[in-house]
Chain A
């Protein structure tokens, strides 16, 4: 199939690199554009404080979106991430309250996250069950499990040391933002400079060819999910340490926001291309819109509609852009 497409392509037209660029540029423009528009309506929107809060309050989404975009690049999807983050947040919170050494409090969710996601990855890759089914099932297992274990008891009086979010570097740079930026950069570098990083693109782009090149699609998928789990763990930490209370329930619709960020971030749903930088920008964009809605007195109820529309527009644009590179579609 891909061969047919390949041979249909007209020589020397818009390369995917330019496509990445345009995608990220687009997002950057959108972010700035909205800021300016809303700024006209209410200058306070542009206050550094507000802009900082927008990023700060949603850093965990950006981090989760990194892993998600890797998963999508590898040609899969995961809708269990929201529930997993809820579970991991609760775990770390309970540990913190139980007085476990803070290092363990921070490491355990990462480890658990990796294990859970690896399990899913293995089922998907080796047992050949579509990701959608596996993660849909896992979603409800985690959700139900969390409630039945915790009974939804809130976790309160967390030790001060637990609150990552309160740590500020040089008094200005809040930890979550730092982690978000660091994670994005590291992930971007890893995907570019490691053989396994490229293997993700190979698997998503042309699994058969990847196999002939000695890249194991199965192993790659498992690895991708493991990483996804790691980022989910980090996201869970940022999520948990943001407030002085952990609800120990599953944050509603979180997986949708994360997927939106990843897709809008320039991950081609046809698999194979994508950029974690884009997904981080997209997460910021979504957060910005959510906040803008309040500033322009639009009820937050529209946020889901906006998210859905964003996905549609990006995906359709992506497909058409690719198709325009082919003669006769």
Chain B
């Protein structure tokens, strides 16, 4: 993460440093406390395992950070995961694609789904919120309709490597996520693309008047979001060995929670991958830690909801900007 540290200074207002260090501090304290409650919590074994479970949401959180920085939002990610999972199984089982091709195809479908979001958002200027609520329903519907909610099973053994295998003692998908984080982090911090995203989020008109490719950048981030969803669908299917159309439903909550908790301003223009990662880890370990200390699943959902609201509150109060509600 040290690699990404500088961006905190360069790309975002000062308060963010405070916000993220603050967050990291809270994280450490929370872990310590949860660790006291259950000695099995702070074990390499458990943490790696949590990393495994965190990957699907993590992959989505990276492009979501981009999107929210541009002042947009993507509520359809969960549904795209479902759609991609179905396309993977469907194209393999029903269309007889060889499995590697099916995987590529599924990821491709994700890209297209995201691209469609981006296209209508940039060309027709449909507000991202409404656009992605619509596709939240549409893509889930297509997943259910195409699969008729039939699940696909009996994948070959090698297919499970991504989701269940390990490499150098670390879950395979965690490596994927790690690469994703570094790439996204550098892209956001060091490249003209990342700079463009911040510019758009802070002042879209000025960005346009500076000759920055505003629409293209937006198109790219929504497409990336779709591709990530495809990737995450692959990992998910490989982990749970079965394809079902309800996969990924509700992910949008976890993803947005992680990003916002990580200090990315829902109003756009501010945020870092580093923050998102902290937020991500925080939520995952919070869930896990609570479960281990005997808090039931339903109560955990409540905690996450509360965390989402409160963190936004903190972020926007630390963050000077004042927007009209909604």
- Which residues of A are interface residues toward B (Cβ below 8 A)? 74-77, 79, 123-125, 127-134, 136-141, 143-148, 207, 217-218, 221, 253, 256, 259-260, 263, 269-271, 299, 301-309, 311-312, 315-316, 319-320
Give the complex CA separation of A253 and B138 in angstroms: 12
Tell yes or no: B127 within 8 A of A by CB.
yes
Residues of B within 8 A of A308 (CB): 134-141
Give the complex CA separation of A229 and B309 in angstroms: 19
Q: Are A303 and B141 in contact (CB under 8 A)?
A: yes
From B137, B140, B145, B316, contact of A311 by CB (8 A): B137
Q: Are A75 and B326 in contact (CB under 8 A)?
A: yes
Tell yes or no: B277 within 8 A of A by CB.
no
> Total number of A-B contacts with CB less than 8 angstroms?
168
Annotate B22-66 by CB proximity to A: 1 below 8 A, 0 otherwise.
Answer: 000000000000000000000000000000000000000000000
Tell yes or no: B260 within 8 A of A by CB.
yes
Q: Are B148 and A129 in contact (CB under 8 A)?
A: no
Tell yes or no: B305 within 8 A of A by CB.
yes
Give the complex CA separation of A147 and B308 in angstroms: 20
From B266, B302, B309, contact of A145 by CB (8 A): B302
Residues of A within 8 A of B326 (CB): 74-77, 124, 130-131, 221, 271
Residues of A within 8 A of B137 (CB): 253, 256, 260, 304-305, 307-308, 311
Annotate B283-326 by CB proximity to A: 1 below 8 A, 0 otherwise.
Answer: 00000000000001011111111101100110010000011111
Q: Are A136 and B256 in contact (CB under 8 A)?
A: yes
Give the complex CA separation of A213 and B50 in angstroms: 55
Q: Are A256 and B325 in contact (CB under 8 A)?
A: no
Tell yes or no: B101 within 8 A of A by CB.
no
Q: Are A132 and B73 in contact (CB under 8 A)?
A: yes
* Contacts A133-B309, A301-B148, A311-B134 given; does A316 touch B120 at CB 8 Å: yes
Kindly name the residue among A77, A129, A260 whose own CB sees the greatest number of chain B CB atoms within 10 A.
A129
* Contacts A256-B137, A305-B142, A312-B134 given; does A143 touch B301 at CB 8 Å: yes
Residues of A within 8 A of B135 (CB): 308, 312
* Contacts A302-B141, A309-B138, A319-B125 given; does A137 touch B325 at CB 8 Å: no
B215 to chain A, nearest CB (A): 14
Tell yes or no: B183 within 8 A of A by CB.
no
From A133, A147, A319, contact of B298 by CB (8 A): A147
* Contacts A77-B326, A130-B266, A319-B125 given; does A137 touch B141 at CB 8 Å: no
Residues of B within 8 A of A146 (CB): 298
Q: Are B145 and A129 in contact (CB under 8 A)?
A: no
From B120, B260, B303, contact of A312 by CB (8 A): B120
Give the complex CA separation of A131 and B267 in angstroms: 12
From B298, B304, B309, contact of A129 by CB (8 A): B309
Tell yes or no: B240 within 8 A of A by CB.
no
Tell yes or no: B170 within 8 A of A by CB.
no
Give the complex CA separation of A77 and B129 in angstroms: 9
Residues of B within 8 A of A303 (CB): 141
Residues of A within 8 A of B136 (CB): 256, 308
Q: Are B309 and A134 in contact (CB under 8 A)?
A: yes
Q: Are A218 and B325 in contact (CB under 8 A)?
A: yes
Give the complex CA separation of A136 and B300 in angstroms: 15
Q: List 16 A-B contacts (CB under 8 A).
A: A123-B313, A127-B316, A129-B325, A133-B308, A136-B308, A144-B300, A144-B302, A144-B305, A145-B298, A221-B326, A253-B137, A307-B141, A308-B135, A311-B134, A312-B120, A315-B134
Task: Considering the complex, give the chain A residue whose CB is closest to the CB of B300.
Answer: A144
Give the complex CA separation of A140 and B130 in angstroms: 20
Annotate B157-196 by CB proximity to A: 1 below 8 A, 0 otherwise.
Answer: 0000000000000000000000000000000000000000
Give the complex CA separation of A166 and B325 in angstroms: 41
B219 to chain A, nearest CB (A): 17
Give the complex CA separation of A266 and B127 in angstroms: 16
Tell yes or no: B253 within 8 A of A by CB.
yes
Q: Are A137 and B149 in contact (CB under 8 A)?
A: no
A129 to chain B, nearest CB (A): 5
Residues of A within 8 A of B125 (CB): 319
Residues of A within 8 A of B148 (CB): 299, 301
Tell yes or no: B7 within 8 A of A by CB.
no
User: What 10 pairs between A and B have smallest CB-CB spacing?
Assistant: A308-B138, A305-B141, A304-B141, A144-B301, A308-B137, A140-B305, A144-B302, A311-B134, A147-B298, A301-B144
